[in-house]
Amino acid sequence: MPMDERTKETVRTLLARHPSGYATAEVGFTVTGSATGLFRLLCFAILADRATPSEAAVRATRALLDRGWDAAPAIRETDEREREEFLRNAGHPHPEAAARDLGGAARLVTDRYDGDLNRLRDAAHGDGGRVRALLSEIPGMDDSGLTVFLREVQLLWPEVGPFLGAHAAHAARRLGLPDDARTLLTQVARGEGEEEMAWLAGALALVDARDEYRSVEAAVR
């Protein structure tokens, strides 16, 4: 089914406003398929206090990455008290739990996947449901964390997509786009497939998190 002009303009507006995904817009790092790139995304997901993370959680993630704690071995070399104090000073809303979860995640990723989440993907043998199940075993990966991680990683791991999450789906409904991930992929994000889908999902989530509906709607008129 061809897109109507309003749908095309809505998508253009969203991607012009937020062209490269949620993590890049909020934290400032590009999601890559390297061991470090994926662990950075995992840290962001663990520190997220909800599916559209608060400003405090975003600031704490930036501080963590600036400190160089962006790989499983680096986190594992720290102790829990050190992580907790750092996260508290960085303004994370739940520093004790986050410090514990980061340590547990670093241990699991190191011990089970040799520090590289690509090995988690390999262990799932192309089964998106199995990828999600294995991610759920990582400390700190609750529903909010999974949403943050899957929304971004579908760009690199298409078997977990198409994925929107509740906030992006809500934004899609309000902006007159399909709120079903599969329909959005096949009817709206067809130009670049999973790449555009990941960026569009991130843009929708950002519009919802920042309540940018009026400015998007004004641009489309």
Q: What tens digit of pLDDT does each residue of 48-107 get?
A: 988 778 888 899 999 999 999 999 999 999 999 999 999 999 999 999 999 999 999 999
Domain 5-220 has CATH 1.10.340.30: yes
- Token pair belonging to 17: 């406003």
Q: Where are the domains of the chain?
A: 5-220
pLDDT in tens, 128-176: 999 999 999 999 999 999 999 999 999 899 999 999 999 999 999 999 9
Cα–Cα distance for residue pair 30/12, rounded to 1 Å:
21
Q: What is the DSSP string of 101-144?
A: HHHHHHHHHHHHHTT-THHHHHHHTT-HHHHHHHHHTSTT--HH
Please classify residue 87 by burial: count the beta carbons closer than 10 Å to its beta carbon, then call 0-12 exposed, 13-18 middle and 19+ buried: buried
Q: Tell me what the pLDDT averaged over the chain comes to.
A: 91
- Tell me the pTM: 0.91
